[in-house]
Structure 1
Amino acid sequence: MLQASPSADEMAQELVLRERQIALLQLEASVPACQLLENGFLEDAGYNSPTDWLRFNCHLTDKVASDRIQVGEQLAAMPASVEAMRAGEIGYGHLTVMARTAAAVGKRFEESRLLPLARKHTPGKFYYKSLHYRHSIDAKAYCQEQSEQEINHHLSLSTSESGHLLINGVLDPIGGAAVRTALEPLAQKSGAHDDRLLPQRYADALVELASGGKPANLQVTATIETLKGLAGAAGAEMEFSLPISSTSLQRMACDCSVTRVLLNQESVTIDVGRSKRVISGAARKALAARDGHCRWPGCERPASWCDGHHVVHWIDGGGTDIDNLVLLCVAGIIGWCMRADGNWSNARTARSSPSRRLPHLWGSPRRRRGMGLTFGPPRGPD
């Protein structure tokens, strides 16, 4: 007698059951994984780290091996999450996010705040929510991580033998979001007849953008608490990006359009204010005429590459008059803030390099009324 094939529902239930069993095995494997450093085992075996041993002997990728170790190290900090995973309420992917969050915030980790989010969201969405949590716990550390990402981005261009341009690089979350925001509208299918694959559409979109496509507008959503940099505030949100820090938000807010949106406790919109340009077109032109280029010491990137930035930020009461504005490119302002005397101070956390005084911002000094700032004409070609 032939056995009937399982129904779709039966196969789905079987798949869920097996995935839970796999998750439990991964959890069990995480305990010995984090114990490889004990008893000199790794040195005797000739490995530099438990991650290397797991990669070569358990055939794991670097990320999976790192996750195994991280979960094992943080088990004591997340007992409720482990029980939730055993009960099938969350998966091993949620547990890895929980473990990395616990490692990032240390003693301030609050499992009770994160576990409801893990139960509600997929691992990917839960990771996104966990970044907001990390920002609310330690905004300075979160900003430092984003600053390091901005410093370490790169892009290389080379030409193949056939003449094709080869592009390879890594962008920080904010820069990547700007690129994707510009490319996505141009990479949509043009109709039912469009049989181009997505990578082909991205390539065509990049060429169209470089050839004069429409400019992109980034939309950032944040609470007033985040904009003010208040303790405990979540990060800001931007499409195609992970949550961004309050410091990055304040930098972007120097030269943008701001729209006030009021929500009630149920997140229902109750009022939308008019969009207000922080730095107007006339002020931007005057700023470009006065500064000529980026005013970071030694930088001469043209004015078209720069944004207008406030000496005293407008969220802190600084005016948007020309006397309180300066042209800066992104490359020159990561991790530093400008003082009213025209010098720069390190705004990084104690984990980074120690503070140091940079050269005065402007040469050929001319005292400016009220602020004690000095300006001079742009330096000519060397």
Structure 2
Amino acid sequence: MKRGNRMAFFEVSRQVKRRLDLAADLPTDHPPVLGEIDALVDQLPDPEHLCAEERAGALAAVAKLRNRLDAYLTETAATADEHADSRVLGAGTTGMMVAVATGQNPAVGSATVARGNALQHLPLVAASFREGNISTAHVAVITAEAPKITQFADIESQVVTIAETVEPGELRRILSLLADQCRPDARDTQAEDLHAKRSLSLSETANGMFRLDGYLDPVAGAALRDALATLMKKTSREDTRTAKQRRADALTDLTTAGQANQNPLGVSQVSVLVDLEDLSSDGAVLDDDSALGTRMLDLITCTAIVSVILGTRRENTFVPLALARGKRTANHDQWRALTARDRGCIRCGRTPRYCQAHHIHHCR
């Protein structure tokens, strides 16, 4: 590589060189129709010459075509695995062959093969994928969550309908809830596993500074995040500290306050959503709509001020009862009711701690 009057030389790693050699040895024969499709791509109009409506339509149409091509690639990878093509061609594993043929990392190639094999047992999902109605991301979610759901075949058609409607993140949330219902203790077991992985190291460096590194479970991590967010606000317009510096200062303040606190457990606040139409229903969720296991609910409510918010569900949304308003801005109880209803900003999706109360959706 030459830059200005200087010449730089780079050497790829041994593993990458091996993959490049494998790619060079792979056959390039392919069905003629793929060449025709490639030629048609060159005929696509310049986006600059399209109007706003045409560009929006083109985005949707191209995304569907991409999904269909991804489906064909995934099916081809699974078929190659079934026929042991990588052994025939001396290209290592099927995942490795797919990776070098597509210019991807080996892990991506292996994941493509795994999805293709899984789709052989999910005919309705595979059909929707081939039609371009769902993306690779949707398929990845379904193939990961389906084994956790009892008798998934009975609900496969409904899952496909949902996948064709919602984004992958929401699909994962829905399927995770279904998986949790099939395994009531799964949330608690997962929480215990994550808690067991907690660790923290504090080491002094040569110049006298300290380096902090570690992992916290979701509950402890969220508590620390919220505590730091409260303490790391800028003190004035003249405050020139960076976000990282303010976070470090907030941790110092938190440590100082903790040493002076006679009640280290503190008092937390928990909102319990009670559906008037089903007061005996089980299950608990946090204000970001993440589900809790029964043991975890007991843990986080042991030293909490519990706010019971009565309401009902309209169009699958929890709606608190109407609250009187004595001033222009939302009071404390109104804020907690809005948090219970909307889980945060209804426009951008940010969590409640980044939001203010406005009359986009009225409490009534």
TM tier, smaller: 0.5 to 0.7
1:160, distance to aligned residue in structure 2 (A): 3.4
Say which one has the larger Rg.
2
Q: Distance in 1 between matches of 2:47 and 2:168?
A: 36
C-alpha change, 1:66 and 1:184, in structure 2 (3 Å) is farther
Describe how 1:126-137 pairs up with structure 2 within 5 A.
126-137=171-182
Higher helix share: 2
- Residue 268 of structure 1: aligned partner: 319
Residue 102 of structure 1 and its aligned partner are, at CA, apart by 0.5
Deviations 1:63-115 (A, max 9, x none): 74564244323324544444545555543222211221102225346234544
2:48 is aligned with what amino acid? S
Matched, 1:23 2:74: no
Give the structure 2 partner of residue 150 of structure 1: 195
CA distance in 1, matches of 2:247, 2:299: 29
Match of 2:221 in 1: 176
Residue of structure 1 in register with 2:48 after alignment: 5
In structure 1, C-alpha distance between the alignment counterparts of 2:84 and 2:287, rounded to whole Å: 46
Sort the Cα spacing of 1:127 and 1:271 in 2 relative to 1 into closer, same or farther, 3 A: same
Identity, % of aligned positions? 21
1:256 aligned to 301, 304, 310, which one?
304
Change (3 A) 1:37 1:229: farther
Q: What's 2:184 paired with?
A: 139
* 1:125 aligned partner: 170
Task: Measure how far apart 1:199 and its partner are.
Answer: 4.3
AA in 2 matched with 1:261: I
What's the CA shift string for 1:288-336, capped at 9, x where partnerless?
xxxxxxxxxxxxxxxxxxxxxxxxxxxxxxxxxxxxxxxxxxxxxxxxx
**Map of 1:331 onto structure 2:** none
Out of 135, 153, 161, the position equivalent to 2:206 is 161
Name the amino acid aligned to 2:204.
T
Contact 2:195–2:217 under 8 Å retained in 1: yes
Moved more, 124-133 or 201-210: 201-210
Unaligned runs of 5+ in 1: 276-382
TM-score (norm 1): 0.53
Question: Aligned Cα RMSD in Å?
Answer: 4.4
Provide the C-alpha distance between the structure 2 equivalents of 1:138 and 1:43, rounded to a whole number of angstroms: 40
Summarize the Cα distance change of 1:5–1:34 in structure 2 as closer, same or farther, 3 Å threshold: closer
The gaps in structure 2 that reach 5 residues or longer are: 1-45, 324-332, 334-364
Q: After superposition, where does 1:164-313 map in structure 2 within 5 Å?
A: 164-188=209-233, 198-212=243-257, 217=268, 219=270, 236-239=285-288, 242-266=290-314, 267-270=318-321
When residues 153 and 25 of structure 1 are mapped into structure 2, their CA distance, relative to the original with a 3 A threshold, is: farther
Alpha carbons 2:272, 2:307 under 8 Å: kept: no
Helix, strand or coil at the partner of 1:161: coil
Contact residue 157 and residue 167 of structure 1 kept, 8 A: yes
User: What amino acid is the match of 1:270?
Assistant: L
Paired position in structure 2 for 1:74: 118
How many residues are paired up? 266
Deviation (angstroms), 1:43: 7.9
